[in-house]
Amino acid sequence: MNERVAVLGATGHTGGFVVSELRRRGMTPVPCGRGTDLGATFRHADAVINCAGPFAVTAAPTIEAAVRAGIPYLDVTAEVEVVAETFAGRAGAGVPIVPAVGFYGGLADLLATAAMRDWSAADNLTIAYALSGWRPTPGTRATGRVSAQRRGGRRIVHAGGGLRHRDGDAPYTEWAFPAPVGTRPVVGEFTTADSVTIPTHLETPEIATFMSRNAVDDLRSPDPSGPVAVDARGRSAQTFLVEVVARSGGGERRAVASGRDIYAVTAPLVVEAAARILAGSGDAPGVASVGARFDPVDFLGSLSPRHLTFGRPATHPTSLTVSRGPADT
Per-residue pLDDT tens over the stretch 166-176 = 998 899 999 99
The residues spanned by each domain of the chain are 4-101+265-302, 104-262+306-324
**Mean pLDDT score, 115-137:** 96
Dist. CA 103–CA 20, nearest whole Å? 17
**What dihedral do alpha carbons 230, 234, 236, 240 form, nearest 10°?**
-130
Class level of CATH domain 104-262+306-324 = alpha beta
Please say whether the beta carbons of 205 and 124 come within 8 A.
Answer: yes
Out of 18-32, 80-94, 239-253, least confident range: 80-94
Distance of alpha carbon 17 from alpha carbon 14, whole angstroms: 5
Q: Evaluate if residue 129 carries a pLDDT over 70.
A: yes
How much is the pTM? Answer: 0.93
Mean of the pLDDT values across residues 15-43?
95
Nearest to 38 by CA among 70, 2, 65, 76: 65
SS3 label, residue 91: coil
Q: Is the pLDDT of residue 141 over 50?
A: yes
Percent of the chain's residues with pLDDT above 70: 95
Work out the angle at residue 219's Cα, subtended by the Cα atoms of residues 223 and 138, and round it to the nearest 5 degrees: 65
- CATH of 4-101+265-302 given 3.40.47.10, 3.40.50.720, 3.30.450.40, 3.30.1330.10: 3.40.50.720
Closest-CA residue to 106 (of 239, 265, 259): 265
Tell me if residue 231 falls in helix, strand or coil.
coil
Same fold? 4-101+265-302, 104-262+306-324? no
pLDDT, tens only, 90-117: 877 899 999 999 999 999 999 999 999 9
CB neighbours of residue 262 within 10 Å: 25
Q: What is the mean pLDDT of residues 56-62?
A: 95
**What does the pLDDT average to over 110-125?**
96
Q: Which of 213, 252, 229, 224 is nearest to 13 (CA)?
A: 229
Residue 299, CA distances (Å) to 53, 103, 273, 291, 321 in order: 26, 14, 8, 9, 35
pLDDT of residue 323: 39
Q: Encode pLDDT of 228-282 as tens digits.
A: 999 999 999 999 999 999 999 999 999 999 999 999 999 999 999 999 999 999 9
For all residues of the chain together, what is the average pLDDT?
92
Which pLDDT score, from 0 to 100, does residue 143 have? 86
Distances (CA, A) of 298 to 21, 180, 241, 244: 19, 25, 19, 17
Are 239 and 114 a contacting pair, CB within 8 Å? no
